[in-house]
């Protein structure tokens, strides 16, 4: 219940049993990760690092044992052991972008054939909901400028562009990071400096410009701050006229899912590419963390895999 005595709207992941806490995260993440194994051909799971995205350490209501137990419990549930270069990314909403940056290093610098970037998170924790409602961040009967809390897990298989066995449908051409001073809880004027920095670094990395982007996919969750930031960043970086530049966000279907937002966004872009309903080939994916971290990824669909 919210402070007005009304039910809080949430987006709960339906599972076959009423698991709670770490057990629910395990049973959400394991099936998503298992789906990636079907695409790895002769490569053994223990040769694949798992880059696991989880809630940031500063998250109110963060589950106990998240850093110490979750990874091993997922391995036990899958009956597999992952590569020793596996790692946790406890950075909330930007975890997926930072994990992609690390995956690129593992694949191209260390010769790892594949990585799995997976995110799992739940905002449906009483202490988490209470804190966000207190800060007027939650969508309630008394606050329209807030997010719907949700929970989700998503996993994507990452390999070199020329890797065989995988029906590649989405290429990550560039990754950039930035730091925003005017965070969502700050009273400083927002200019989207951090996101502009991330855009600039990502486009430089890809050798492209905003002119190559056909649509955007973000972790925006319904709060005005994130949409304002996205609009400012595009205004400051777009130098050509575009008839439209759609902005997609998975939160309108699954709610605010924290550390799972990045992998969810990439999965949506991949599905749009494979099923050929994307509005174009070039995709700008951008993620914004609560603490000011910003990550942008320049993605490209295979030719012919878009409208």
In contact, 131 and 88? CB cutoff 8 Å: no
Give the chain's end-to-end CA distance (angstroms, integer). 44
User: What does DSSP say about strands 170-179 and 215-218: parallel, antiparallel, or unpaired?
Assistant: unpaired
In contact, 284 and 199? CB cutoff 8 Å: yes
Examine the pLDDT at 223 and tell me if it is beyond 90: yes
Nearest to 95 by CA among 145, 36, 43, 153: 153
DSSP type of residue 46: G
C-alpha 45/C-alpha 244 separation (Å) is: 42
Is 44 strand, coil or helix? coil
Q: In the prediction, which pLDDT does 137 show? A: 96
Q: In the prediction, which pLDDT does 257 show? A: 98
Q: In the prediction, which pLDDT does 303 show? A: 64
Give backbone dihedrals phi and psi of 160, rounded to 5 degrees, phi first. -65, 150
Examine the pLDDT at 72 and tell me if it is beyond 80: yes
pLDDT digits (tens, 9 = 90+) for 224-263: 999 999 999 999 999 998 989 999 999 999 999 999 999 9
Examine the pLDDT at 307 and tell me if it is beyond 80: no
pLDDT digits (tens, 9 = 90+) for 155-192: 999 998 876 655 667 899 999 999 999 999 998 999 99
Q: In the prediction, which pLDDT does 304 show? A: 55
Is 37 strand, coil or helix? helix
Q: In the prediction, which pLDDT does 305 show? A: 59
Mean pLDDT value of segment 59-78: 96
Mean pLDDT value of segment 101-124: 96
pLDDT digits (tens, 9 = 90+) for 278-301: 999 999 999 999 999 999 999 998
Mean pLDDT value of segment 199-224: 96
Q: Six-digit token pair at 203?
A: 């486009």
Residue found under tokens 């209470």? 130
Q: Six-digit token pair at 5?
A: 């005595």
Q: In the prediction, which pLDDT does 40 show? A: 87
Q: In the prediction, which pLDDT does 301 show? A: 87
C-alpha 41/C-alpha 89 separation (Å) is: 27
Give backbone dihedrals phi and psi of 77, rounded to 5 degrees, phi first. -65, -40
pLDDT digits (tens, 9 = 90+) for 78-100: 999 999 999 999 999 999 999 99
In contact, 280 and 269? CB cutoff 8 Å: no
Q: In the prediction, which pLDDT does 42 show? A: 86
Mean pLDDT value of segment 135-152: 96
User: What is each CA distance from 213 to 101, 121, 166, 297, 305, in whole angstroms?
Assistant: 20, 29, 25, 11, 15
Q: Please, what is the Cα angle at 218 between 214 and 224, to 5 degrees?
A: 115
**Cα 187 from chain centroid?**
26
Q: Alpha helices of 50-181 — where are they, by DSSP H?
A: 66-78, 95-109, 126-134
pLDDT digits (tens, 9 = 90+) for 7-20: 999 999 999 999 99
pLDDT digits (tens, 9 = 90+) for 32-46: 999 999 888 888 989
């Amino acid at each position: 219940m919210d402070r007005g005595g009304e039910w809080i709207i949430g987006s709960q992941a339906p599972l076959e049993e009423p698991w709670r806490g770490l057990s629910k995260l395990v049973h959400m993440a394991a099936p998503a990760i298992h789906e990636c194994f079907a695409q790895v051909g002769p490569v053994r799971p223990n040769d694949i690092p798992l880059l696991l995205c989880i809630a940031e350490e500063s998250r109110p209501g963060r589950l106990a044992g998240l850093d110490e137990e979750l990874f091993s419990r997922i391995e036990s549930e899958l009956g597999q052991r992952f590569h020793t270069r596996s790692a946790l990314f406890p950075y909330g909403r930007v975890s997926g972008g930072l994990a992609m940056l690390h995956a690129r290093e593992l694949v191209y610098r260390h010769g790892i054939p594949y990585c799995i970037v997976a995110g799992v998170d739940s905002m449906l924790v009483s202490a988490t909901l209470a804190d966000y409602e207190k800060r007027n961040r939650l969508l309630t009967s008394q606050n329209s400028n807030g997010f719907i809390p949700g929970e989700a897990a998503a996993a994507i298989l990452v390999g070199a562009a020329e890797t065989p066995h995988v029906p590649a449908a989405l290429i990550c051409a560039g990754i950039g990071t930035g730091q925003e001073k005017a965070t969502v809880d700050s009273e400083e004027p927002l200019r989207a400096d951090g996101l502009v920095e991330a855009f600039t670094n990502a486009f430089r990395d890809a050798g492209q410009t905003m002119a190559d982007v056909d649509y955007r996919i973000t972790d925006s969750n319904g709060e005005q701050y994130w949409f304002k930031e996205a609009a400012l960043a595009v205004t400051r970086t777009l130098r050509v006229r575009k008839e439209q530049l759609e902005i997609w966000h998975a939160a309108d279907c699954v709610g605010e899912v924290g550390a799972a937002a990045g992998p969810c966004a990439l999965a949506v872009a991949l599905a749009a590419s494979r099923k050929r309903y994307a509005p174009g080939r070039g995709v700008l994916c951008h993620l914004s963390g609560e603490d000011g971290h910003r990550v942008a990824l320049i993605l490209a669909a295979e030719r012919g895999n878009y409208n």
